[in-house]
């Protein structure tokens, strides 16, 4: 027995000696029973799955940015005028703020996932055409991640390779270097991605890439290129502003702008919406649909930006609303909790002389009154803001109700599981999400982007023409060329794209954040400092970068 064990031991040692010349192969780790970067990137199906992951990451980033990129701008502020949710920029916008680190981490995770795909394509079984398509799509998302970072933080570390081991010596690249890298990635995407009429709803096309490349060209001073690219989007036979009633509610009272934000109307294939360029997909209670009706889950724009109307009492201090959790009704505003409201400037001033005729400010698109809806109340059907029926509670706590844009909610169309009483449309406390597919990009923005490029080039006449394409759809007065400025374009974007464009990114891109907050935000205008033009670099990123200096933006203290 002992001899057999001894002989086996000798045989094992001999085998080690014989095969020692291939010890690198012997020591190589090859996962066999779980997915890893070493075995998950081979077939075209593998890469399609990985690209789907990038879409999922963008969707998660989008749905988790509802207040960081809207609130404390010129269009929106803390509804309660307190220090919560960015209510005091000096206290909130610091290197230690978790919300700041979240933006940084989310975008770099998107970038790193894209880099992993790009870096592993050559070692895959894909053919040449497949490699080109996958690389272009991944590069689009890499550039899209840097788009947020560069306009929010300024120059940031430019990482264009997969990180396969911990790295603690990042340094910041210049803003121009980041923009040039974005230019290269977006440019490749414009030449390889498919046409918009061939992609499924929710997927990016070459037109989406052209829009963002045009935007990047403006930042680089390449105005002729920006105009050409934006024109290719606008002139495409498969795109056009929606100018007549359409979609799931076209037979109801409303207007075409209202139609743009009704459920099921965002996607091109299902509604014929030729204005939609890129739509973030969401379907409640469907696997992969992101939202659920049985638990809290973003996109909570309704909850965050709609007023807590149902909490208002009548002039005698008595209950006057059907539900203490809100109703799926345009009068009440769903399950709002009054965290963020539009600024006074957006609500009353930005419309100018067109307050009464601008479609985007119609009664269908901005709710400017609410009515007590408890049938047993003596004030049933009466206005909650009329002097004779306004409650003392609302007088003292004006944040309980304020005007709000209807695009943030889905009146009458909350998922069934959220109704406490389906007949009355009263909601459960778990309501609050906005149950719409969301526009990441629609054609109206491309018109306003081209107007910006024309203005920068000095052609105010053509800039005015583009702005008027958008204004004519809204049945409002035309702007004349002499009135066109970058601030006018920003005003028009506010009217057309409120709570769609990430306003903080737009203002950061143009270097107008501090100026316009001081001018139009009554809460943080007096508090904003020059250095707030950019977010601080998160302290967590600086601290982890132990082998090099990751410089902080001026004005902030680590």
Task: Extract the tokens encoding 437.
Answer: 């597919």
Is pTM beyond 0.75 here? Answer: yes
Query: How do residues 339-368 score in pLDDT, each as one tens digit?
Result: 999 999 999 999 999 999 999 999 999 999
Instruction: Name the percent of the chain lying above pLDDT 70.
Output: 92
CA angle 244, 232, 142 (to 5 degrees): 105
Query: In angstroms, rounded to a whole number, what is the distance separating the alpha carbons of residues 99 and 276?
Result: 30
Per-residue pLDDT tens over the stretch 321-335? 999 999 999 999 999
Calpha distance 100→86 (Å, rounded): 11
Say what the pLDDT of residue 37 is: 59
In terms of residue numbers, what domain contains 376? Answer: 297-438
Residue 30 C-alpha from the chain's centroid: 39
Q: Taking 70 as the threshold, does the pLDDT of residue 233 lie above it?
A: yes
Given a cut of 60, whether residue 17 has pLDDT beyond it is no
Residue 421 phi/psi, 5° resolution? -140, 105
Nearest to 366 by CA among 391, 325, 333: 333
Residue 333 exposure: Cα atoms within 13 Å on the Cβ side: 33
Tokens of 441: 């990009």
For residue 152, give Cα distances in angstroms to 110, 461, 473. 16, 31, 32
How many structural domains are present in the chain? 1
Do residues 185 and 221 touch, judged by C-beta distance below 8 A? no
Q: Within a domain: residue 158?
A: no
Identify whether 272 is part of a domain.
no
Q: What pLDDT is stored for residue 38 in this prediction? A: 64
pLDDT at residue 488, as a whole number: 98
pLDDT of residue 216: 98
Domain membership flag for residue 219? no
Give domain status of residue 307, yes or no: yes
Q: In angstroms, rounded to a whole number, what is the distance separating the alpha carbons of residues 299 and 286?
A: 15
Residue at 406 is within a domain: yes
Mean pLDDT, the chain, integer? 92
- Is 317 inside a domain boundary? yes
* Residue 553 belongs to a domain: no
> Where are the strands (E) in 397-463, listed by range?
404-405, 419-421, 426-427, 438-442
pLDDT above 50 (res 14): no
- For 408, the token pair is 């943030």
In a domain, 448, yes or no: no
What's the pLDDT tens digit per position in 263-316?
A: 999 999 999 999 999 999 988 888 888 888 877 666 789 999 999 999 999 999
Residue 375 three-state SS? coil
Contact 77, 504 (CB under 8 A): no
């Amino acid at each position: 027995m002992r001899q057999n064990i001894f002989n086996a031991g000798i045989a094992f040692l001999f085998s080690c000696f014989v095969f020692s010349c291939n010890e690198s192969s012997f020591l190589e780790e090859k996962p066999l029973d779980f997915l890893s970067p070493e075995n998950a990137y081979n077939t075209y199906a593998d890469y399609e799955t990985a690209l789907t992951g990038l879409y999922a990451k963008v969707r998660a980033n989008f749905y988790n940015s509802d207040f960081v990129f809207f609130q404390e701008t010129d269009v929106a502020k803390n509804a309660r005028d307190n220090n919560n949710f960015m209510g005091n920029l000096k206290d909130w916008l610091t290197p230690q703020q978790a919300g700041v680190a979240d933006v940084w981490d989310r975008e770099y995770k998107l970038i790193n996932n894209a880099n992993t795909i790009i870096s592993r394509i050559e070692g895959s079984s894909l053919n040449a055409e497949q490699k080109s398509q996958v690389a272009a799509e991944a590069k689009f998302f890499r550039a899209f991640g840097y788009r947020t970072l560069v306009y929010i933080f300024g120059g940031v570390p430019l990482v264009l390779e997969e990180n396969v081991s911990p790295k603690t010596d990042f340094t910041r690249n210049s803003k121009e270097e980041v923009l040039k890298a974005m230019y290269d990635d977006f440019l490749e995407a414009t030449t390889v991605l498919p046409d918009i009429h061939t992609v499924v709803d929710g997927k990016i096309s070459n037109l989406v890439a052209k829009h963002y490349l045009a935007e990047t060209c403006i930042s680089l001073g390449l105005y002729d290129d920006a105009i050409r690219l934006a024109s290719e989007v606008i002139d495409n036979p498969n795109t056009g502003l929606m100018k007549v009633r359409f979609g799931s509610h076209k037979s109801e009272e409303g207007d075409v702008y209202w139609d743009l934000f009704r459920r099921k109307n965002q996607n091109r294939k299902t509604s014929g919406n030729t204005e939609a360029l890129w739509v973030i997909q969401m379907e409640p209670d469907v696997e992969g649909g992101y939202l659920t009706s049985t638990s809290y889950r973003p996109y909570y724009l309704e909850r965050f930006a709609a007023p807590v109307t149902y909490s208002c009492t009548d002039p005698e201090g008595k209950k006057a609303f059907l539900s203490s959790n809100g109703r799926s009704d345009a009068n009440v505003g769903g399950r709002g909790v009054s965290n963020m409201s539009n600024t006074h400037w957006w609500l009353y001033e930005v419309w100018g002389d067109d307050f009464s005729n601008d479609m985007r400010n119609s009664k269908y698109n901005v709710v400017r009154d609410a009515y007590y809806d408890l049938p047993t109340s003596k004030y049933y059907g009466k206005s909650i803001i009329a002097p004779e029926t306004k409650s003392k509670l609302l007088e003292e706590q004006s944040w309980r109700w304020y005007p709000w844009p209807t695009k943030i909610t889905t009146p009458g169309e909350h998922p069934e599981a959220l109704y406490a009483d389906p007949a009355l449309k009263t909601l459960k406390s778990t309501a609050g999400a906005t149950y719409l597919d969301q526009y990441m990009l629609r054609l109206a923005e491309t018109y306003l982007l081209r107007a910006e490029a024309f203005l920068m080039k000095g052609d105010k006449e053509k800039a005015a023409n583009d702005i008027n394409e958008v204004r004519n759809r809204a049945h409002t007065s035309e702007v004349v060329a002499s009135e066109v400025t970058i601030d006018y374009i920003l005003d028009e974007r506010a009217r057309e794209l409120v709570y769609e464009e990430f306003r903080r990114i737009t203002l950061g891109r143009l270097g107008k954040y501090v100026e316009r907050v001081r001018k139009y935000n009554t809460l943080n205008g007096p508090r904003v400092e020059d250095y707030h033009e950019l977010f601080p670099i998160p302290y967590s990123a600086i601290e982890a970068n132990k082998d090099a200096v990751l410089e902080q933006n001026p004005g902030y203290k680590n």
